């Protein structure tokens, strides 16, 4: 195994990385450093976050930049302010023994005037987010005309976030003879096209397979009824008492709700999403980094800047639309040589999505069973026992109180005492799980849900039912065969109700129907808005699906799907062209969600396919959406 010195790095850098505890170069470092120091070409490197990319480009650049020259010689572009700060801090650490080397981060969300000051003497290395950099170039505060190195870090994320034009503008202001180094976790065609257009004979460095996740991550999924996702999440968390992870949700609303539920239920969790101010986001991230929070519930965009190495779990509360997003999410665990688990909770009709992801990432998912109440209790109990066994006793502080305590417990035997201590801590759990039902979906040999064998949800304890009691469940007579996706559904609801505040939850889409919950207080508005709609029919499925009956109604909706409501579908037939246009217009709420995700590449892509397919399925299913 090579050392940093073997790669040709100077002593100042070797000693800095060794002080950071880096013993050997990571694979992407070995390949990048060797190539960059001994060649003059560009680099396109496919590597996950957490694989050591910053040192891979940072160390050779620090070595090749002249610290005596006071002009900007290297620029690293990063998608988020957090990553920008992180890269700059890493580079400062790596260069702490190089006299005169200055690294400055510039990013949006902070006073530009403060950043002006730092640029009075130009740094040799500038780390920037694209938008802020363009601002500074336009104000004449940054001169990129003598750049020798340009790094595009997390290039796929930058493009996802809509920075393509900014990146091209920046690339055009830098000299042609610069060396361009592009690092990306995935290689969508947009990234390849930037590489082809702006890079010369680039050396390709691939760590792992294309679009594959880290080798250190185990991928598992649990299959439950869609409406039991939250209960499943709690069981998974309870089964892992030392969990330290991110729960990824699809929308800000879902993020807020899940975090609120978790906090209400006594978990050490908080939310991170785009509706928080930068200061609030910083506070949450800080708490999470310090492990004062065990679970961070986050949207993909909000979690982007978060750099944490020792996550035990990533939980996909919902699957993302895009496989690449899954790769990014799961790549947040299993970093820096550690192992991790990427957990996905799917409902019964998402089995195919798992297969799609397996193909893309070239990894197999293990299906695991949601633990039953007894398993969870055993696990928690043993964890408590372990904690008691290892507890640090501060004799000095506890000492003065002990005689009184001993006296108070004199009448109890050791066994009785232990039983009481453990019960005190543990009764809450035993009580909660005493009637817990099996959350696993019964499956046939081919992994499909067995009908009519669902658990007796009517017997669920009160706390397990909490969450959707005040909702009305609706059904629309359009489904995936009509091109309906959760996002499209939200767009339609948004458009028809003309009310963006309607809170839609628990979406379930079958081929022919879409089910969703709306809080009771908003249900009337939904019913009225749909009353005069000719081409889509809304039905109330249940007005309180939180309890056992309501849940079964959700199930009945699914069986209706197998035939019951077909007759309703007549008014919208044969309206092809116009409707296509209209369906494009159902997008405001989508757009909001897409903004949160920083650009949607998956949402409507398949629409065209579906339209063709469905029209060939016969007249009845002609497209309306
Ligand atoms: P990065 O992908 O650059 O964000 O690096 C991921 C994490 O790995 C960071 O916390 C680095 O400090 C750490 N790291 C980078 N290179 C090494 C190395 N050679 N040995 C140990 N840790 C490293």
| pLDDT tens string 188-226 | 888 888 888 889 888 888 875 444 456 788 999 999 988
Average pLDDT over residues 236-264: 92
**DSSP reduced 3-state for 499:** coil
Mapping DSSP to helix (H, G, I), strand (E, B) and coil, where does residue 128 land?
Answer: strand
Distance between CA atoms of 228 and 354, rounded to whole angstroms?
19
Say if ligand 1 is within 6 A of residue 49 CB. yes
The CA distance from 300 to 539, in Å, is 33
Q: Please tell me if the CB atom of residue 50 comes closer than 6 angstroms to any atom of ligand 1.
A: yes
Q: Quick check: 545 and 471 in contact, CB under 8 A?
A: yes
Q: Is 336 in the pocket of ligand 1 (CB under 6 A)?
A: yes
For ligand 1, the distance from its centroid to the CA atom of residue 30, given in whole angstroms, is 13
Ligand 1 centroid–CA 106 distance in Å is 22
Return the pLDDT at 295.
95
Cα 243 to middle of ligand 1, angstroms:
22
Q: Which of 47, 51, 54 to mutate to test the pocket of ligand 1 (most atoms within 8 A of CB)?
A: 54
Per-residue confidence band for 38, with pLDDT thresholds at 50, 70 and 90: very high
- Average pLDDT of span 460-472: 49
Backbone angles phi, psi at 618, to 5 degrees: 115, 160
Ligand 1 atom closest to residue 336's alpha carbon, by position in its atom list: 8
Positive or negative torsion for Cα 160, 165, 170, 174: positive
pLDDT at 135: 93
| pLDDT reported for residue 221 | 94
The verdict on the CB of residue 491 being under 6 Å from ligand 1 is no
The contacts of residue 41 (CB under 8 Å, 6+ apart) are 35, 179, 200, 201, 202, 203
Cα-based distances in Å from 137 to 50, 102, 161, 266, 327: 31, 19, 21, 49, 34
Alpha helices in 96-219 (DSSP H): 112-118, 130-138, 155-160, 164-173, 189-198
Summarize pLDDT for 96-153 with one digit per residue, the tens: 999 999 999 999 888 898 899 999 999 999 999 999 999 999 999 999 999 999 999 9
Atom index in ligand 1 nearest the CA of residue 48 equals 2
Pairing of strands 471-476, 538-542: antiparallel
Predicted local distance difference test score (pLDDT) of residue 447: 61
Q: Is the CB of 25 under 6 A from ligand 1?
A: yes
According to DSSP H, which parts of 304-452 are helical? 323-330, 351-361, 373-390, 395-398, 402-408, 414-433
**Would you say the CB of residue 214 lies under 6 angstroms from ligand 1?**
no
CA 598/CA 612 separation, integer angstroms:
29
Burial degree of 578 (CB within 10 A; 0-12, 13-18, 19+): exposed
Fill in the DSSP letter of residue 337.
T
Mutate to test the pocket of ligand 1, among 22, 79, 88, 92 (most ligand atoms within 8 A of CB): 22
Distance 86 CA to ligand 1 centre (A): 11
């Amino acid at each position: 195994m090579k050392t940093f010195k073997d790669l040709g790095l100077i002593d100042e850098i070797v000693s800095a990385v060794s002080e950071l505890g880096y013993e050997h170069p990571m694979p992407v470092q070995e390949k990048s450093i060797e190539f960059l120091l001994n060649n003059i070409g560009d680099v396109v490197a496919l590597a996950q976050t957490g694989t050591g990319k910053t040192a891979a480009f940072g160390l050779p650049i620090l070595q090749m930049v002249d610290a005596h020259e006071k002009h900007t010689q290297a620029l690293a572009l990063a998608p988020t302010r957090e990553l920008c700060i992180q890269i700059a801090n890493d580079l400062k650490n790596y260069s702490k023994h190089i006299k005169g080397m200055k690294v400055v981060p510039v990013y949006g969300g902070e006073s530009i005037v403060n950043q002006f000051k730092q640029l009075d003497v130009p740094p040799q290395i500038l780390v920037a987010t694209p938008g802020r950099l363009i601002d500074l170039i336009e104000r004449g505060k940054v001169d990129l005309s003598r750049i020798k190195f340009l790094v595009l870090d997390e290039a796929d994320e930058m493009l996802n976030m809509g920075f393509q034009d900014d990146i091209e503008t920046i690339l055009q202001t830098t000299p042609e003879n610069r060396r361009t180094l592009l690092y990306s976790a995935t290689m969508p065609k947009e990234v390849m096209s930037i590489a082809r257009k702006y890079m010369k004979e680039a050396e390709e460095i691939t760590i792992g397979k294309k679009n594959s996740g880290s080798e250190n991550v185990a991928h598992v999924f649990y299959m439950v009824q869609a409406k039991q996702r939250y209960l499943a999440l709690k069981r998974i968390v309870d089964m892992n008492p030392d969990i330290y992870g991110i729960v990824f949700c699809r929308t800000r609303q879902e993020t807020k709700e899940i975090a609120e539920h978790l906090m209400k239920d006594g978990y050490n969790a908080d939310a991170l999403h785009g509706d928080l101010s930068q200061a609030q986001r910083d506070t949450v991230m800080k708490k999470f980094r310090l492990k004062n929070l065990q679970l961070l519930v986050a949207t993909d965009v909000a979690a982007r800047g978060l750099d944490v190495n020792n996550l035990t779990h990533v939980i996909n509360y919902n699957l993302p639309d895009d496989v690449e997003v899954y790769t990014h999410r799961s790549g947040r665990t299993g970093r820096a040589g550690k192992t991790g688990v990427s957990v996905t909770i799917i409902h019964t009709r998402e089995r195919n999505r798992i297969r799609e992801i397996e193909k893309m990432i070239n990894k197999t998912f293990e299906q695991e069973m949601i633990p039953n109440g007894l398993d969870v209790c055993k696990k928690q109990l043993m964890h408590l026992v372990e904690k008691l066994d290892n507890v640090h006793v501060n004799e000095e502080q506890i000492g003065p109180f002990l005689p009184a305590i001993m006296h108070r417990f004199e009448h109890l035997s050791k066994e009785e005492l232990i039983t009481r201590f453990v019960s005190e801590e543990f009764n809450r759990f035993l009580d909660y799980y005493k009637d817990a039902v099996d959350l696993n979906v019964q499956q046939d040999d081919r992994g499909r849900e067995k009908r009519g064998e669902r658990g007796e949800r009517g017997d669920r304890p009160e706390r397990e039912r909490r969450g959707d009691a005040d909702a009305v469940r609706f059904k629309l007579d359009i489904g995936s065969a009509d091109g309906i996706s959760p996002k499209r559904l939200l767009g339609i609801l948004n458009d028809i109700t003309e009310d963006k505040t309607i809170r839609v939850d628990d979406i379930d889409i079958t081929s022919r129907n879409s089910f969703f919950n709306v809080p009771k207080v908003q249900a009337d508005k939904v019913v009225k808005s749909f009353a005069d709609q000719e081409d889509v029919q809304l039905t109330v499925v249940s007005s309180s699906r939180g309890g056992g009956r309501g849940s079964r109604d959700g199930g009945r909706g699914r069986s209706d799907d197998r035939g019951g409501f077909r007759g309703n579908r007549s008014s919208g037939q044969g309206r092809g062209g116009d409707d296509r246009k209209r369906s494009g217009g159902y997008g405001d709420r989508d757009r909001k969600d897409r903004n949160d995700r920083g650009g949607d590449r998956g949402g409507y892509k398949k629409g065209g396919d579906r339209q063709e397919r469905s029209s060939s399925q016969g007249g009845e299913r002609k497209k309306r959406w």
